[in-house]
Amino acid sequence: MKRLLSELRIYLCNNWIKHVPGNRIRLWYYRNVMNFGIAEGSQIFMGCTFDAPGNLTIARNSVINAHCRIDNRGSVFIGENVSISNEVCILTADHDMDSYDFSGRNRPVVIGNLVWIGTRAMILPGVTVGDGAVVAAGAVVTRAVEPFDVVGGVPARKIGQRICHAAYTYSNNYKRLFH
């Protein structure tokens, strides 16, 4: 019965709640039914899907744009003032292709503060993206990204460096009425 209720919660989240145009309703469901830790000022736009209840923490003023997939089975932490663009995929689980039984494994993903992840980028299990880093659109991140590095490509490699300001002043605290 417990598994049935858990699966029902995920089904409702990924097939009904993600289509609700009222952000307050979605955030209520994510916080109270899915048990996600979502700080004030953070937003999750319509169309996002999740793989498990719990295991997702989003700090203040961060935005997950529309149609992202967040595989939170192995836990995802998203820092403050993070912008995750449309159709980003964050994975925390995979299979050990060399194990005799193709066993699954979970590894957490950590995204630091002031990070920008471009459209259709993919973050693979076990990756840490450092504070202030930028992941270019379409990049596949297979290993840690150092603070303020700009990475792109498949697999992602350093292609630049973001200026490291002592105190960035921007905030991603913005709301859209029907997103």
Rounded to 10 deg, the angle between the 23-32 and 2-15 helix axes is 160
Phi, psi of 129 (to 5 degrees): -105, 115
19, 67, 95, 165: the active-site residue: 95
95 assigned to active site:
yes
Please state, as a whole number, how many other Cβ atoms lie within 10 Å of the Cβ of residue 28: 13
Please state, as a whole number, how many other Cβ atoms lie within 10 Å of the Cβ of residue 86: 16
Identify whether the C-beta of residue 32 lies closer than 8 Å to the C-beta of residue 50: no
Task: Give the residue numbers marked as catalytic.
Answer: 95
